[in-house]
Amino acid sequence: RYRNIPVVGIAEMANSYYDTIWGYGAFSRWPLAYPNDAFSATATLTLLLDRAAFVRQLPTGTPTVYCIEFQRDGGRVYVLWTARGEVDVALDLGGAKAYTRTTMCGTVAENQTAARLVVDEEPLYLTTTAPLAGVRASLARRYPHEQYAGSDKAVVAAPLAAAAEVTLVATPDPRIESTTRNPSFLACFRPGAYSATTVADDERGACIELTLATGPATSYLYSEYTFLAIPGAAPVAGEPSTIGVWVKGNSSWGKLFFEVTDAEGERWISAGSGGYGCVTHDWPGQAAINFDGWHFVQFPLTGASPVKVFAPGENQWQWQRDGEGGNGRMDFPIRVTGLGVAMRREVLNLTELVPVDTVIRLQNVSVY
């Protein structure tokens, strides 16, 4: 329990840091000092949660949709959000006949009685006079912030409609396990016992179901991975800037690693340290399996991609090549030659470890 609530920096940087990921603040840079969203969000948080006492975390049915209950002034304050996208949430109001809904930046709607809400990545506050009886999230989501220009014209590079298309590689992969590229204090990976089968999904039809088999106990810090080699993929025309794959997620906070082979035979994988000597790969979790249901997970191939990974070096340091041969550039046309998948058996659901269903589905590695 803390006496103070840490808040953001006072103002944006008034120097070259302004154009980096470290440049943000509650107010715009001097001399304007206009309030940013962070100011309003911090004001809303402190207004509603100052002197509030934590009561419990309500189960939502998934470890990536959250609902926390606080007690304050004889009533209850609930905070709801999800790790990715937006999701429909059903409320069991119990003894609470109505609630006040407050958005992240302070828009207030009183005397609300709707039993269904849309919850997204911004915290949503509900204030009630009595405790809620329950909260349940849908396993289907929408991704309004990931509707990238050109994605509707994506070309399938590897259908992943049958398990026979891939070969599971269970041996250690130094590109993923390397303590130079992935320091052990930041990310721990080791091979896992996976199986791949062909299934007919009710929503998307023929696809590959990938299962991490039950195995010996392992630390929750470890992600267990496999590599799906795709030997039959043909070169794709043009110079695509973006790669993606359809994933039916399991909220395991797993990770995807794309592999392409370029026109000179150099192999590239979307993993590595880049120029800072740390895991610059995908700080925001763009390639993370932090959702349920089907989602087209997209990742930049080049700086021209509409998908931006806001990390040091942005897009250009998300890819590492094998060895030192070749010209060190991604030469087109490329072939999609592999897909790495890492999953955890249990994940940290805010304060408690919870098991996850270690099964996902994959279909249509595509580029545009």
pLDDT digits (tens, 9 = 90+) for 89-110: 999 999 999 999 999 999 999 9
pLDDT tens across 149-184, in order?
999 999 999 999 999 999 999 999 888 876 544 444
Give me 2's structure tokens. Answer: 């803390």
Q: Are 346 and 133 in contact (CB under 8 A)?
A: no
Q: Supply the pLDDT for residue 182.
A: 46
| Collapsed DSSP state (helix, strand, coil) of residue 292 | strand
Closest residue by Cα to residue 287 from 244, 350, 347: 244
Cβ-Cβ contacts under 8 Å for 107 (sequence gap 6 or more): none
Q: At a CB cut-off of 8 Å and minimum separation 6, what does 139 contact?
A: 61, 62, 292, 293
Angstrom distance (rounded) from CA 336 to CA 341: 15
Distance spanning both ends of the chain, measured CA to CA = 49
Token pair 């790669």 in the structure block, residue: 243
Beta-carbon contacts of residue 202 (< 8 Å; ≥ 6 apart): none
Residue range 267-302, pLDDT digits in tens: 999 986 555 545 556 888 999 999 999 999 999 999
Give the span between the Cα atoms of 123 and 102, in whole angstroms.
9
Alpha carbon distance 234, 336 (integer Å):
8
Q: How far is CA 152 from the centre of its chain?
A: 21
- The model's pLDDT over 319-329, given as tens digits with 9 standing for 90+, comes to 888 877 789 89
Q: Please state, as a whole number, how many other Cβ atoms lie within 10 Å of the Cβ of residue 266.
A: 19
What is the reported pLDDT for 29? 87
CATH superfamily, domain 36-142, is: Golgi alpha-mannosidase II (2.60.40.1180)
Which position has the token pair 């955890």?
344
pLDDT at 185: 46
Structure confidence at residue 19 (pLDDT)? 76
Non-local CB neighbours of 126 within 8 Å, separated by 6+ positions: 77, 78, 80, 91, 99, 100, 101, 102, 132
The reported pLDDT for the residue numbered 217 is: 74
How far apart are the C-alpha atoms of 225 and 191, rounded to whole Å? 5
For CA atoms 324, 326, 327, 331, the dihedral sign is: negative
- Pairing outcome for strands 99-102 and 288-289: unpaired
State pTM to two decimals. 0.92
Q: Which residues of the chain have pLDDT under 50?
A: 180-185, 277
Question: What CATH architecture does domain 146-367 belong to?
Answer: Sandwich (2.60)
> What six digits make up the tokens of 361?
């589905």
Cα 242 from Cα 296, distance rounded (Å): 12
- Provide the pLDDT for residue 240: 98
Give the domain ranges of the chain: 36-142, 146-367
Of 85, 74, 58, nearest to 247 by C-alpha is 85
Tell me which residue has tokens 């809303």: 44
